[in-house]
Structure 1
Amino acid sequence: MIRTIAVTSDGHTHKDMPLDELEREDIVWFWTDFSEPTEEEIALLETRFRFHPLAIEDCLQLLQRPKLDHYENVHFFVLHTLQPQTLETDELDLFLSERFLVTFHLRAVPELEDAFAKWSASGDAVRQGPLYALYTVVDKVVDQYFPAVYSIEDALFDMDQRRAGDVTDAIMDRVFDIRSDLLRLRRTIFPMRELVYRIVNSERIQGMGDVRAYFADVHDHLLKLSEMIESNRDMTADIRDSYVSLNANRMNNIMKTLTVITTIFMPLTFLAGIYGMNFSYMPELETRWGYFVALGFMAGIGLSMFWWFKRKGWFD
């Protein structure tokens, strides 16, 4: 589907204007959106708009990294939109010149729908122009990143409130899932931050003027998101390290207990081994109270060693 908003010199906005009429002299600028285009509509990128073949190739080969390319008088942008529930990304391509903004996407993009609706209702479209329309799209795309990051941050905050003993294997599985989600967000947000930085500091995009401040505001949002992602990654690392330390401490306590038990029984096993030997002449075996004396002696050794370990703090 192709839809167009055209702004004429008298300040009027015309929706769904045919592409053949976009060359009229009274049209100041226009915005054309290719939404889930057919093969015939895709061909118009070359036959009608005469965009560079490399840019058209990038439009059709998913998923390109967010970037900015300059082709003569047309600037080509690749943005990544984000689905907050699944964290899946879709590509949104834009062509910008002094006279038009062309958006291209193979899947429906809710953020672009919001931007298109906002722009359609704008009463100051002539002054704003295609560069401000580009800002509107970028701003809507970046705003959609926040719910996903805030959701992860809230989940980590709830985990951080738990006591160390409440950390379970299920929680650790969730922590590793969150780390994976943060990595996916990082692969989207960091390149977008670099892209917007290039827009803010670009000398090749004409007419930035006051619009530069709007893009700088979007860049600030991306910086905030980047810091949140890094902070959340550090928090997951802290939770993971606490869990590992807790398990190591538990294992040390178990090993200490087993060591104490083994050490206590070592001399007892030694005595039992001696009197278990089948020699013909063992005087102690003929003693009437030898069995009870041996048991008492072994009990004394065990209790003495237990008291000694207790005094040394092995059971604290």
Structure 2
Amino acid sequence: MIRTIAVTNSYEIVRDIDISQLVNGDYQWYWIDFHEPTNEEIEFLRTPLSFHPLAIEDCIHQLQRPKLDYYENYTFFVTQALNQQTITKEELDIFLGERYVITFHHNPSSEIDEVWRRLTLSTSIEKWDPSHVLYFVLDKMVDNYFPLVYQIEDMLNEIDENSKKRTMEELLEVLFDTRHHLLSLRHTITPMRDLIYRILNSQRVTYIRGRNEYFSDIHDHLLKLTEMIEANRELTTDIRDSYISINSHQTNHVMKVLTVITTIFMPLTFIAGLYGMNFHYMPELTWKYGYFATLLVMVLVGIGMSIWFNKKGWFK
């Protein structure tokens, strides 16, 4: 689907104009949005818009890395939004010229819909231009990163507070899923941060002059997001290592108690085995109190070793 909006020289909004009329018409500037376009609609990028084949190829092949390409009369941006439900990357391509902005996306874009609505409802159209649309789209895109990062951060805090209530398998599964989501966020946010940095320091993107402070604000947000992601990744590692250490300590304590018990029974087993041998001329076999004396010795040995081990702290 293709939708268009144009601003006339008298700063009035006109919508749903044929692309050929937009290209050849006398407008202040215009915006064309390619929303889940068909193959026939994609051809408009070639004719009459006359974009470079490499830029069109980047639009067709999804999930390109966020980047910035310069062409003769326009600049091509590849950006990435994040799906709020699945935390997956969704590509959004933007062609920015002096008199136009073209957006292209294969998936529904809440960012584009929001900026489109703001433009149509705006009462000060004279303040808008293509770079203004670019800024609002990028700003909304970055703002939508924050809820995902905050959601993961809250989940990690909950895991950290209740880690003892989970089994080892449950905890590791949650932590590995969380690290996977954080890795996906980092692979999106870090290139976007580099893209905004290039925009701010480029001498060829002349369309945003006078708006550097706005794009600098977006860059600051991306820096904050990057730091939050790295901090959360370190937190997942700390939680995992702490839980493994606690689990290993508990296992070692159990093994120590079992070892002490086994050690106590070793001399008792020796005595019982010794007097279990079937020899006729063994001492104490015919003694009247031999059985009771042997039991008493075994009890005293067990009690004595238990007291000794307890004084050494081996039961703690």
Greater CA drift, 197-206 or 7-16:
7-16
| 3-state secondary structure, aligned to 1:22 | helix
For residues 120 and 89 of structure 1, the distance between their equivalents in structure 2, rounded to whole angstroms, comes to 28
Say whether the 8 Å CA contact 1:62–1:91 is kept in structure 2: yes
Which residue number corresponds to residue 16 of structure 1?
16
Aligned partners of 1:178 and 1:261: how far apart in 2?
42
CA contact (8 A) 2:23 2:48 kept: no
TM-score by length of 1: 0.94
Which residue of 1 is the match for residue 49 of structure 2? 49
Contact map agreement 1:28 1:126 (CA 8 A) in 2: no
1:87 to partner: Cα distance: 0.6
Letter in structure 2 aligned against 1:27: Y
One-letter amino acid of the structure 1 residue matched with residue 132 of structure 2: Y
Deviations 1:50-90 (A, max 9, x none): 11111111111121111111122221111111121211221
Deviation at 1:257, TM superposition (A): 0.6
Contact 1:66 1:77 in 2 (8 A): yes
Secondary structure of the corresponding residue to residue 179 of structure 2: helix
Q: How does 1:1-316 map to 2 (within 5 A)?
A: 1-24=1-24, 26-162=26-162, 165-169=164-168, 170-316=170-316
- Amino acid across the alignment from 1:191: P
What per-residue deviation string (whole Å, max 9, x for no partner) do you get for residues 230-267 of structure 1?
Answer: 11112211211121011101101111011101111111
1:25 Cα offset (Å):
5.8
Tell me whether 164-173 or 37-46 shows the greater mean CA deviation: 164-173
Q: Residue 24 of structure 1: CA displacement? A: 4.5
Pairwise CA RMSD: 1.6
For 1:253-288, what per-residue CA distance to the aligned partner results, in whole angstroms no more than 9, with x for missing partners?
111011101111111122222222232321221111
Deviation per CA, 1:141-165: give whole Å up to 9, x if none: 1111111111111112222333x64
Q: Secondary structure at the match of 2:4?
A: strand
Percent identity between the aligned chains? 52
Q: TM-score, normalised by structure 2?
A: 0.94
The alpha carbon displacement at 1:125 in A equals: 3.5
Task: Measure, in 1, the Cα distance between the counterparts of 2:146 and 2:122.
Answer: 25
Unpaired runs of 5+ residues, structure 2, are: none
- How far apart are the structure 1 equivalents of 2:53 and 2:115? 27
**Displacement, 1:32?**
0.7
Please say if residues 78 and 91 of structure 2, whose CA atoms lie closer than 8 Å, have aligned partners that are also in contact.
Answer: yes
Kept in 2: contact 1:68–1:195 (CA 8 A): yes
Letter in 2 for 1:225: L
- Structure 1: unaligned runs, 5 residues or longer: none
SS at match of 2:248: helix
Residue 167 (structure 1) shift: 4.2
Whether the aligned pair in 2 keeps the contact of 1:77 and 1:94 (CA below 8 Å) is yes
Q: CA deviation at 1:121?
A: 2.2
